[in-house]
Structure 1
Amino acid sequence: MATVESVKTKDKKREKYIVTTMKRLFKNKLAIVGLVIVILQIILALFAPFMTAHDPAAQNLANRELPVFSDGHWLGTDNYGRDVWSRIVFGARISLVVGITAVSLGLIGGTILGLLAGYYRKLDAIIMRFVDLLFSFPGILLAMLIIAILGTSLVNVAIAISIWSIPTCARIVRGSVLSIKEKEYIMAMRSMGASDLRIMIRHILPNASAPIIVFATMRMATAILSTAALSYLGLGAQPPTPEWGAMISQGQDFMWSAPHLTIVPGIAIMLTVFAFNVLGDGLRDALDPNMDLQE
């Protein structure tokens, strides 16, 4: 009976925490703006074929470099006559897919390393030295090195960015594990004979989820920006793939005759990175337990 009551109490506390977190988040107007932009981008990515009237790769040399608000091409066309709006919308799909894939892989690797390093003192030094080795490379240079080894493609871009994300995630998770594993309820679970795996998965990881969620949200901004940068350098998306960084690279030669070819994808990147960053800031504040004391 006591066990049932404790479970009910725990569920009520969890529900209260979720409600309180959502209230805090919705008080942050800037975070809500970011959330709206992210939702709109997800809608564009999911329903891209229904949001456009043109094939993003279809060329029409008779309609080259049309300006914005042209008839049938409200964001104009590029130097090959391809519809810029279609390429922006399908580019949103590519950015999200690569970003989500890279962040997910980085979270998996970083969380596993962080859990092991934080829980097992013998593994801590070995894993942290490996993490320090990854940190010794500037992030974008590490990604370029990995792509140089694996080859140029969006798949390899996602792999490179995920490897770049692992050390930061590992340190965040390790720090949380070091504080959580000394809690009384964790020590009680050990005394009851619970296995290390059960303790880490069922009790430590859920309580370390807040910083992981914040990291994942803000890392999406970094992943999207890095994807665009690598594609701009010719290491990511290859023509005629409608990727924002590649679009800027292809349009920079037409800055004077058709500036929208670089300005439009540049604005798309800026808005997306801004949205994920302010949403991550809002989540960090909303998930911070110390906010209760400040309020």
Structure 2
Amino acid sequence: MRATLARAAGLVAVLTVAGLLPWMSGKDPALSLLRARSAEQEPTPEALAAIRADLGLDAGPLSLLGRWAGGLLRGELGVSWVSGTEVLPSVTAGLQVSLALMGAALSVALLVGAALAAPVLVRGRGGSGALAAVLAAVPEFLLSLGLLIVAGVWLGWFPTSGWAGPEHLVLPALALGIPAGALLGRLVADALPSVLDERWVELWRGAGVARAPLAAAAVRRVLPPLVPQFGMVAVGLTGGAVAVETVFAIPGLGRTALGAAKSQDLPLLQGTVLALLALGLLTGAVAAAVRRRLLGPALRDAGLTLPAARPVRVPPAVPAVLGAVLVAVIGWGLLREPYVIDTAARLAAPSAAHPLGTDALGRDVLARLGHGAASTVGTAAAVCLLGYLLALALGFLPNLAAGLADIANAVPPVVAGILVAAATGPGTGAAALAVTLVSWPPLAAHAAALTQEIRASGFLMAQRAMGASPLWILGRHVLPSVAAPVARHAVLRLPGVALALASLGFLGLGAQPPSPEWGLLLDESADYVERAPVAALAPAVALALLAALAVSLSSATTRRTIRSVSLPGHRRRKATRAAV
């Protein structure tokens, strides 16, 4: 109930922010709309006054928001400010397309997840999970471009854009479903070994029960604690669909929301955001109902616990090699000039002068790759620092942190990016703020778990009995014991944050030209991949290496998180001091 209320409050808050966007941006809404409707028309005072009178902008944002809320109660979403048409038919049409795409993606996800979890049922023990972790870490926009280039352009197996038949559904469904299925498969594969070691499995085997019924019973036993995670995966599809629909030019809800944010079409933006978040809330409610159904009346109150996360077995040399390759490429690129334009060398092949070729303006790709990495990593470091400070503050307020985390988890990062970019304009700062708003919950959960354990330890009780003040205990024992492990966790999340920033840059919500940010580079290079494949694929390969590095470091995150919350108090404190 608390999670449902928190998500409903988040929905109201997001819609309120969407309603205030034109005024939060500091720009004249009438001027933005005039330029969106006709770029050639002069913004005369008479033209702007006519737009304000037509849309009721003179009444102020609160009055406009109140009218929209009243229309929502009557089943109306208003009229588009740009096209002048009803918003509801546009939202309904986009929702139908997005639901079809998400349904196909969920089918792919279930097939991929079953394929990854099936070996565990056969062998009775888990594998390394490295393949599932790598597939789950690949961003949807990067996988979309890879499938479009290979299966659509080079091989010509499937259409590369549009929405005219089932064949147009294949590549987008694969791009959305493969990462989601890899995550689902890894969750099930991590949980199955502990279930197969339970006493009832041994009894069933001794009674001669066949393998198929036993496997079905084990899967049913492991599903209840995992169903909420499945719901979060489905919510994530609503955010990933924005990038996939943009890459394949699909007229879905996410692409419509992105276009509405860029054109400042407030009623259409409100309608699409409402549909996206309502879809997420509905998914969460369905997941909760399925979990209760699977548990049954006997276990409904007690529930079942989720098995501890199993770290991916990655050889220690892998992150070192990946990091060395990225550092070498970035360092080499930083020594070159990224902004020099040479139109005579447009789309040149790799050579001694340009090791990775040139882009459509004749700029050196290696130089832009190196300077873009410095910008992306620096922004990601600032986001990690902000998330770390926020996690430390909320770690001492677990109840408040849980409610805020529910709201943050209900808003996909891309939706947050759309809203922030619409309010402040696209840019590096807007992308950083959007990622910060939704990326802090894992760090806060880690900080809250450590804080709770330390406060319950015996040595703190002794300190209180000796008369130590709460402030002294906080500064001398609690904060140092929490700060170091959470700081390591924040640093290890840096590659994942950089990928999130790149995804917003790819959608035009982050860094703007002529910045060499990696996501923007990938967006700019996708148009000439056939003429200059090396130059176009260079940022894609760099992002793929970054995703692999994120997987390698996440295994260390999992191991250290488990160890920091499971060691006895005095041993964990000694380990923390040694690490510091």
When normalised by structure 2's length, the TM-score is: 0.41
Residue 464 of structure 2: aligned partner: 190
Range with bigger deviation, 185-194 or 231-240: 185-194
The SS at the match of 1:208 is helix
Cα deviations by residue, 1:71-100 (Å, 9 ceiling, x for unpaired): 300100001000001011111101210110
Distance of aligned partners of 1:45 and 1:256 in 2 relative to their CA distance in 1, 3 Å threshold? closer
Range with bigger deviation, 168-177 or 225-234: 168-177
Q: Which runs of 5+ in 1 are unaligned?
A: 1-27, 119-123
- Selected match of 1:128 from 402, 413, 433: 402
Does the aligned pair in 1 maintain the 2:348–2:358 contact within 8 Å?
A: yes
Q: Which has the larger radius of gyration?
A: 2
Cα deviations by residue, 1:213-271 (Å, 9 ceiling, x for unpaired): 45314421221111111111111111111111101100111121112233100111111
Percent identity at matched positions?
28
Matched, 1:157 2:431: yes
Cα deviations by residue, 1:52-85 (Å, 9 ceiling, x for unpaired): 2xx20111000000112x2300100001000001
How far, CA to CA, are the matches of 1:275 and 1:191 in structure 2? 47
Residue 208 (structure 1) shift: 3.0
Write out aligned runs for 1:227-238 (5 A).
Answer: 227-238=501-512
Distance of aligned partners of 1:138 and 1:211 in 2 relative to their CA distance in 1, 3 Å threshold? farther
Does the aligned pair in 1 maintain the 2:387–2:443 contact within 8 Å?
A: yes
Quote the RMSD (CA, aligned, Å): 2.6
Residue 175 (structure 1) shift: 1.7
Residue 283 (structure 1) shift: 4.8
Residue 266 of structure 2: aligned partner: none
Residue 206 of structure 2: aligned partner: none
Residue 71 of structure 1: aligned partner: 352
How far, CA to CA, are the matches of 2:452 and 2:484 in structure 1? 15
Residue 254 of structure 1: aligned partner: 528
Structure possessing the higher relative contact order (Cα contacts under 8 Å, 6 or more residues apart): 1
Residue 397 of structure 2: aligned partner: 117
How far, CA to CA, are the matches of 1:106 and 1:188 in structure 2? 33
The SS at the match of 2:359 is coil
Does the aligned pair in 1 maintain the 2:359–2:365 contact within 8 Å?
A: yes
Range with bigger deviation, 180-189 or 216-225: 216-225
Write out aligned runs for 1:1-295 (5 A).
Answer: 30-38=315-323, 41=326, 49-50=334-335, 52=336, 55-68=337-350, 70-114=351-395, 116-118=396-398, 124=399, 126-209=400-483, 211-213=485-487, 215-285=489-559, 288-289=562-563
Residue 261 of structure 2: aligned partner: none
Residue 129 (structure 1) shift: 1.7
Range with bigger deviation, 81-90 or 144-153: 144-153
Does the aligned pair in 2 maintain the 1:76–1:83 contact within 8 Å?
A: yes
Q: Which runs of 5+ in 2 are unaligned?
A: 1-312, 568-580
Residue 188 (structure 1) shift: 1.8
**Number of residue equivalences:** 254
Distance of aligned partners of 1:194 and 1:35 in 2 relative to their CA distance in 1, 3 Å threshold? farther
Residue 150 (structure 1) shift: 2.5
Residue 102 (structure 1) shift: 0.6
Distance of aligned partners of 1:117 and 1:42 in 2 relative to their CA distance in 1, 3 Å threshold? farther
